[in-house]
């Protein structure tokens, strides 16, 4: 009888308490000069130790590249979990109104100075993701929510990753087929996933690189500085961006974007001259085949996720049903000793 009552109480608590509440008190902690770490699973201690060991070097470099003092903004909280499901669940529970994507490896809430990381992809990817999220917090400290998403993501990729062939391929494919996004459409957010999200990331990092190369590091730093300066009390983010673009580059975003697209078009225009039309057709065919294969992989990955979730939900339903059933004595006429059948 006591087991039955306990099962009911556990089920009731899991429904009534906020997500993560049952784990209170299980958090493990560590800290550095500018970061406060916590993680739930003891198996994550090694991952946490690696992050702790390298974080201050990452912090100094990333903040320095943005012209920020290492002390700017105060300490940042870092929450480390085992996988994407745990990351999504805990981030939602701890940040009211947050709807993070289910596929995220990391999340940053710059104005709250909070980072969430999941360790399922191994220590190297974890460290790269950590640097990416530190960049988001640093830019948030500087711009106070006025930075467009394309700038935040493009800068974070530059500060955390080497040049990736896959992103070059995606950008080339999109530019060739006229499938680039308008930067205005990438100011508030990116597509939820798939190839279009990949194009958004590739386009953002390339455009940020174009700004730095075309106008120089000094004027790019001025751009970030002006973006961080408060405007009027009712200034919209797009107005702040336009103010910073004009102050640093003497041009509005629309003009700079047009020139950037023209630079891509001119580059592609030289291919048939340098390599010949046959090579151009071969490259185009390769791009089409690559796009088709990537879509197949994405579809297969989505189906695998759906099958996995369906299996997990069925297992959970079975466990709950088993835990909540009343003791056999309430309905079993044989009192747990059924007759044998011949």
Per-residue pLDDT tens listing for the chain (342 residues): 444 344 344 334 433 444 444 344 489 999 999 999 999 888 999 999 999 999 999 999 999 999 999 999 999 999 999 999 999 999 999 999 888 887 789 999 999 999 999 999 999 999 999 999 999 999 999 999 899 999 999 999 999 999 888 888 889 889 888 899 999 999 999 988 778 999 999 999 999 999 999 999 999 999 999 999 988 788 999 999 999 999 999 999 999 999 999 999 876 544 443 444 455 455 555 655 665 665 566 566 656 655 665 666 565 555 555 555 555 444 444 344 333 333
Predicted TM-score (pTM) of this structure:
0.73
Strand 35-39: give its sheet, edge to edge.
28-31, 35-39, 76-81, 114-118, 106-109
Looking at the DSSP bridge assignments, the partners of residue 39 are 28, 80
- Residue ranges covered by each domain of the chain: 23-143
Domain 23-143 belongs in CATH node 3.40.30.160: yes
Gap between the Cα atoms of 190 and 196, Å rounded: 8
Give me the pLDDT at residue 274, please.
42
What values do phi and psi take at 174, rounded to 5? -65, -40
Is residue 104 within 8 Å of 190, Cβ to Cβ? Answer: no
Specify the pLDDT at position 56.
98
Inter-residue contact 190 to 149 (CB < 8 Å): yes
Whole-number Å distance between alpha carbons of 8 and 12: 6
């Amino acid at each position: 009888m006591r087991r039955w009552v306990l099962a009911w109480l556990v089920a009731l608590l899991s429904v009534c308490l906020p997500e993560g509440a049952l784990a209170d008190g299980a958090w493990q902690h560590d800290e550095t000069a500018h970061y406060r770490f916590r993680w739930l699973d003891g198996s994550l201690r090694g991952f946490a130790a690696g992050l702790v060991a390298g974080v201050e070097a990452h912090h100094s470099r990333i903040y320095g590249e943005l012209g920020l003092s290492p002390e700017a903004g105060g300490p940042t909280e870092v929450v480390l979990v085992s996988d994407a499901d745990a990351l999504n669940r805990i981030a939602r529970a701890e940040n009211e109104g947050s709807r993070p994507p289910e596929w995220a490896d990391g999340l940053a809430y710059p104005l709250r100075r909070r980072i969430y990381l999941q360790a399922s992809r191994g220590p190297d990817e974890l460290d790269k993701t950590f640097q990416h999220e530190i960049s988001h917090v640093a830019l948030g400290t500087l711009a106070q929510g006025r930075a467009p998403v394309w700038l935040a993501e493009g800068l974070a990729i530059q500060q955390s990753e080497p040049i990736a062939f896959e992103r070059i391929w995606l950008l080339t494919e999109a530019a060739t087929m006229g499938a680039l996004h308008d930067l205005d459409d990438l100011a508030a957010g990116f597509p939820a996933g798939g190839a279009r999200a990949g194009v958004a990331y590739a386009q953002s990092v390339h455009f940020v690189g174009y700004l730095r190369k075309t106008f120089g590091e000094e004027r790019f730093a001025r751009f970030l500085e002006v973006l961080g300066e408060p405007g009027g009390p009712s200034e919209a983010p797009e107005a702040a961006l336009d103010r910073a673009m004009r102050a640093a580059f003497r041009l509005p975003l629309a003009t700079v974007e047009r020139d950037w697209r023209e630079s891509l078009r001119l580059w592609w225009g030289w291919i048939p001259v340098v390599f010949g039309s046959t090579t151009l057709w071969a490259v185009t065919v390769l791009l089409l085949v690559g796009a088709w294969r990537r879509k197949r992989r994405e579809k297969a990955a989505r189906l695998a996720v759906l099958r996995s979730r369906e299996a997990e939900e069925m297992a959970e339903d079975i466990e709950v049903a088993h835990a909540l059933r009343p003791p056999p004595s309430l309905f079993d006429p044989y009192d747990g000793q059924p007759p044998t059948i011949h």
